[in-house]
Structure 1
């Protein structure tokens, strides 16, 4: 059954809010940052048609609930019906079990300036294992069937990062797979051009105080011939290099 965004977002936020403790205290010092990147790439797909973007983010905690928000320019991207920007709002909570951390989340993606309704919501769960400077993360992000997506979307992923001892550098790697059901063959091309696909990422970061610089190689196995329609943006679904710089505060 396909649901409108408002119904789905309410369900996803309630699923995370159910973990709220009866008594919570706000975090004293929230954090945030601004970032510039040569592309807004998510799950191997460009959300900005391969053009540079600017974003700002903020995070705060309320007891065991972490709240984050990020605003990113999209520059009239076809993938999101000409949206000028996207606001990602997430609530999450987690449990520390020694070296393993479990986490669950609910996220709403709100698109400004789109020609039609593009907003959608998803829920996620992950497990992270830490050993020294290395971290391994595996998880799932699930978007129930929604009008804006033309079906449902399931994203399975595994990421790893490791700091190089004695240096400010961190190596990054990740792989993911997108699949799901289809109710609208044109809209489904938005997040799954050509149907189910696999994406990957290799990168390196350098952190110096509040400044983080990064370079990533991003790729997918999407065949251009299979990615058709007004939302597919096949030209920006393949291999590319993305550079980014973030200033935290």
Structure 2
């Protein structure tokens, strides 16, 4: 999901104690693909500081028997995140392992690194995620993205936009179609969020360049969300 709350690492969450959120959304869409096949989801996140700039993070999302992920009932992402401010740059790195309860042989790992900076009221972030070759995803997977987030001055609204590109080598076409159903492709989205104390409500439009048989649950979609932070 693209949102003011989740599109970029937030330094503030590492300055205090354990933080998290609970969210309901009309879809779980990642990199232009619906992981929940267009069904509503419940998402929970938690972040626990370990050291200065380092935290252990976990996210769990209901998938309701997703065909894309071997009829998995949920996805759980867990791993460390490191964030450091260097001059005007916000640098980050992370490692994630994705578990899929209710499905066998679907788990895989991924590494990520990013850099962000401010331009006036906007935060610009560049990010790269790489999943080394694994049997569960039929090869390797590289995802490059750029995103921007800006608060509307004098209002509780935040605007966001992003674009990403998926690519990689294929060793098993059937398994590779799980994350890249049309081979190399682009996805994009933009959204608006309303923030009120611990509550966030938002709308996001998402689409991809995927065409043909792989376009199922990859076309244009308007996604709503409501989240409570703690």
Are 1:160 and 2:164 an aligned pair?
no
Secondary structure of 2:179's aligned partner: coil
**Match in the other structure for 1:60:** 48
Q: Which of 177, 190, 205 is the matching residue for 2:178? A: 190
Q: Structure 1, unaligned stretches of length 5 or more?
A: 1-25, 228-233
- Highest CA radius of gyration, 1 or 2? 1
Given the two structures, how large is their TM-score scaled by the length of structure 1?
Answer: 0.84
Residue 243 (structure 1) shift? 0.4
Instruction: State the superposition RMSD in angstroms.
Output: 1.3
**Match for residue 209 of structure 1 among 181, 185, 197:** 197
Match among 135, 152, 168 for residue 180 of structure 1: 168
After TM superposition, the runs of 4+ consecutive aligned structure 1 residues lying more than 4 A away are none
Corresponding position of 1:248: 229
- Once the two structures are TM-superposed, the CA of residue 202 in structure 1 deviates from its matched residue by 0.8
Give yes or no for contact 1:145–1:151 (8 Å, CA) kept in 2. Answer: yes
Q: CA deviation at 1:132?
A: 4.0
2:81 is equivalent to residue 92 of structure 1: yes
Report which stretch shifted further, 80-89 or 123-132: 123-132
Residues 1-249 of structure 1 correspond to what in structure 2 (within 5 A)? 29-63=17-51, 64-114=53-103, 116-225=104-213, 227=214, 234-249=215-230
Q: Give the conservation status (yes or no) of the 8 Å contact 2:133–2:141.
A: yes
Q: Structure 1 CA distance, aligned partners of 2:171 and 2:25? A: 34
Deviation at 1:66, TM superposition (A): 1.5
1:48/1:74 contact within 8 Å kept = yes
Q: Which has the higher strand share?
A: 2
Tell me the SS of whatever aligns to 1:148: helix
Alpha-carbon offset, residue 28 of structure 1: 5.9
CA distance in 2, matches of 1:90, 1:200: 26
1:92-113: CA deviation from partner (whole Å, max 9, x where unpaired): 1122112211111101110000
Show structure 2 runs of 5+ residues with no match: 1-13
Q: 1:224 Cα shift?
A: 2.4
* Whole-angstrom CA distance in 1 between matches of 2:40 and 2:153: 32
Q: Structure 2: how far apart are the matches of 1:83 and 1:169?
A: 35
Quote the Cα distance in structure 2 between the aligned partners of 1:49 and 1:113. 16
The one-character-per-residue Cα deviations of 1:153-196 (angstroms, maximum 9, x if unpaired) are 00000000100010000000000000000000100000001111
Q: Counterparts of 1:182 and 1:77 in 2: how far apart (Å)? A: 22
Q: Give the number of aligned pairs.
A: 216
Instruction: Judge conservation of contact 1:38–1:51 (CA < 8 Å) in 2.
Output: yes
TM-score (norm 2): 0.91
* C-alpha distance in 2 between matches for 1:224 and 1:65: 42
